[in-house]
């Protein structure tokens, strides 16, 4: 059997998990792939640090360069995270023609285009199954299993921390900050949670999936991103009354090209809190679980569900890449399937302003006669239709919530109309506007 000699760059949560999983299932992986996997070195920052998964001291190194450049290392596995040293690690490995496995969504989101181009130039492969949705094998699904489909719609619940918070807010009637505080105490949320709760982590993953599905690189700044900080218990309760559940949803939609030879494929990519009908399968994806719903023009609807992060789930995704890399190394396959198949080279991202959606709107208004009429008049002037209204009974002269469900409307028109409404003297707090998805 051929041996694949691994340099693990990172021996933390995921690196430790991969080390452990190889001890547990290395023989199984060998019997299935026909290659053996030998971890020659594990690069860490601090040699003496106590590690939940023990790694023999003789394997540890703090010098990533010497490991990556070691001619006996045939596969580099980048599990250190971050976008500076990790970028150097991957660049150096690819320049040496060595295949690389990475779980680093932040790095791929920021520099993926450059790294995939480098892999092509040096006739080697960059594998990244663990970068999106942990244990759900969604990269392989998009790259290989659904290769014969145009992906018209892709929806993802891609951030476990946000999904955990929103689930507890809904099931236990809690406020956002209370759940976040507890999640931080229990170690489910980072001390600085902004990457997760402001939607950036989900946007990194959405960008990778969108680029893979549509064959042209989608940059993070092209992804309209908003997080869940502004979602209140009240929004979750009103959404529930209307038959919806609020989730942080990544959306990738192909917009039908217009007629004409120069028509371009346009894709809408966004991450935002979204009202999902309670009878849709994604509304039932709870706690830390992730799910990706993919609609292909041939396959129809498909759904992938599982743990989106964590040591074992992420290690499973890395093992899948190790297996692919071993088979490709043995067969001398470079870019077995080009990473971003250029079927839509001429594609573009639809600006958020042009996106059309139904909306949930929560206003905080003074309870007095004529308030609703003023608001409805401003919306009417902007050609925005109201499909339903909830106004809980309040006390005249006091501030009360006013919930409006809005028919399909362009984002830009909504933003303009709500800015005008916000200037009315009867409106007492910033307005909340959340898209609704009918799939």
Ligand X SMILES: NC(=O)c1ccc[n+]([C@@H]2O[C@H](COP(=O)([O-])OP(=O)(O)OC[C@H]3O[C@@H](n4cnc5c(N)ncnc54)[C@H](OP(=O)(O)O)[C@@H]3O)[C@@H](O)[C@H]2O)c1
Task: Please identify, among the stretches 74-82, 234-242, 288-296, 341-349, the one whose residues bind ligand X according to the rule CB under 6 A.
Answer: 74-82
Cβ neighbors of 285 (< 8 A, separation 6 or more) are 157, 163, 247, 291, 305
The answer to whether residue 205 is catalytic is: yes
- Is 43 a residue that touches ligand X (CB under 6 A)? yes
Q: How far is the CB of 311 from ligand X (least distance, A)?
A: 7
- Is 14 a residue that touches ligand X (CB under 6 A)? yes
Query: Which contiguous run of DSSP H or E holds residue 296?
Result: strand 289-296
- Is 15 a residue that touches ligand X (CB under 6 A)? yes
**How many residues sit in the footprint of ligand X (CB under 6 A)?**
25
Q: Are 402 and 391 in contact (CB under 8 A)?
A: yes
Distance of alpha carbon 387 from alpha carbon 380, whole angstroms: 12
Nearest CB to ligand X, comparing residues 134 and 227: 134
- Report the b/e string of 125-139 with b at 16+ CB within 10 A: bbbbbbbbbbbbbbb
Among 41, 105, 170, 205, the one annotated catalytic: 205
DSSP for 154-184, written as a single string: EEEE--HHHHHHHHHHHHH---HHHHHHHHH
Give the CB-side neighbour count of residue 89, counting CA atoms within 13 A: 30
- Is 80 a residue that touches ligand X (CB under 6 A)? yes
From the list 310, 317, 307, the residue with the least C-alpha distance to 287 is 307
- Is 13 a residue that touches ligand X (CB under 6 A)? yes
- Is 49 a residue that touches ligand X (CB under 6 A)? yes
- Is 79 a residue that touches ligand X (CB under 6 A)? yes
| Phi and psi angles of residue 67, each rounded to the nearest 5 degrees, phi first | -75, -50
Nearest CB to ligand X, comparing residues 81 and 215: 81
Instruction: Mark 304-323 with x for binding to ligand X (rule: CB under 6 A) and - for no binding.
Output: -----xx---x---------
Cβ neighbors of 339 (< 8 A, separation 6 or more) are 116, 119, 120, 126, 143, 212
Of 336-365, binders to ligand X (CB under 6 A) are none
Instruction: Mark 97-136 with x for binding to ligand X (rule: CB under 6 A) and - for no binding.
Output: ------xxx------------------------x---x--
Nearest CB to ligand X, comparing residues 223 and 309: 309
DSSP character for 143?
I
Binding residue (CB under 6 A) for ligand X from 11, 137, 156, 227: 11
Nearest CB to ligand X, comparing residues 214 and 307: 307
For binding to ligand X (CB under 6 A), which residues are involved?
Answer: 10-15, 43-46, 49, 62, 64, 79-81, 85, 103-105, 130, 134, 309-310, 314
Residues annotated as part of the active site:
205
């Amino acid at each position: 059997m051929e041996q694949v000699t691994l340099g693990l760059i990172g021996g933390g949560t995921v690196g430790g998990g991969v080390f452990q999983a190889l001890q547990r299932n290395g023989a199984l992986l060998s019997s299935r792939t026909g290659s053996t996997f030998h971890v020659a070195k594990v690069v860490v920052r601090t040699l003496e640090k106590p590690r939940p998964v023990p790694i023999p001291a003789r394997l540890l190194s703090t010098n990533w360069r010497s490991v990556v450049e070691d001619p006996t290392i045939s596969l580099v596995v980048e599990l250190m995270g971050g976008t500076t040293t990790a970028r150097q690690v991957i660049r150096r490995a690819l320049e040496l023609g060595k295949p690389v496995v990475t779980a680093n969504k932040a790095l791929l989101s920021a520099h993926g285009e450059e790294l995939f181009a480098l892999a092509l130039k040096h006739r080697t492969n960059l594998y990244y199954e663990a970068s999106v949705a942990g244990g759900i094998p969604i990269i392989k699904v998009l790259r290989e299993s659904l290769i014969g489909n145009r992906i018209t719609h892709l929806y993802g619940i891609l951030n476990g921390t946000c999904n955990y918070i929103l689930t507890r807010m809904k099931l236990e009637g809690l406020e956002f900050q209370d759940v976040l505080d507890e999640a931080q105490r229990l170690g489910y949320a980072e001390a600085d949670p902004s990457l997760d709760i402001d939607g950036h982590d989900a946007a990194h993953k959405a960008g990778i999936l969108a680029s893979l599905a549509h064959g042209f690189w989608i940059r993070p700044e092209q992804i309209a991103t908003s997080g869940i900080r502004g979602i209140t218990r009240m929004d979750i309760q009103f959404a529930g009354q209307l038959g919806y559940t609020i989730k942080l949803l990544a959306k990738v939609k192909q917009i039908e090209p217009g007629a004409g030879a120069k028509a371009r494929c346009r894709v809408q990519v966004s991450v935002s809190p979204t009202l999902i009908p309670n009878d849709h399968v994604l509304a039932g994806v709870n706690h830390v679980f992730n799910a990706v719903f993919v609609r292909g023009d041939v396959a129809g609807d498909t759904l992938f569900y599982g743990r989106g992060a964590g040591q074992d789930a992420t290690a499973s995704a890395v093992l899948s890449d190790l297996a692919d890399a071993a088979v490709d190394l043995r067969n001398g396959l470079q870019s077995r399937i080009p990473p971003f198949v250029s079927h839509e080279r001429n594609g573009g991202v639809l600006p958020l302003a042009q996106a059309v959606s139904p909306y949930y709107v929560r206003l905080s208004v003074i309870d007095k006669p004529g308030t609703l009429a003023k608001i409805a008049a401003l919306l009417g002037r902007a050609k925005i239709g109201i499909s339903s209204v909830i106004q809980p009974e309040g006390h005249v002269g006091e501030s009360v919530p006013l919930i409006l469900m809005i028919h399909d409307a362009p984002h830009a028109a909504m933003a303009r109309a709500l800015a005008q409404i916000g200037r009315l003297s009867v409106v007492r707090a910033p307005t909340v506007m959340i898209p609704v998805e009918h799939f």
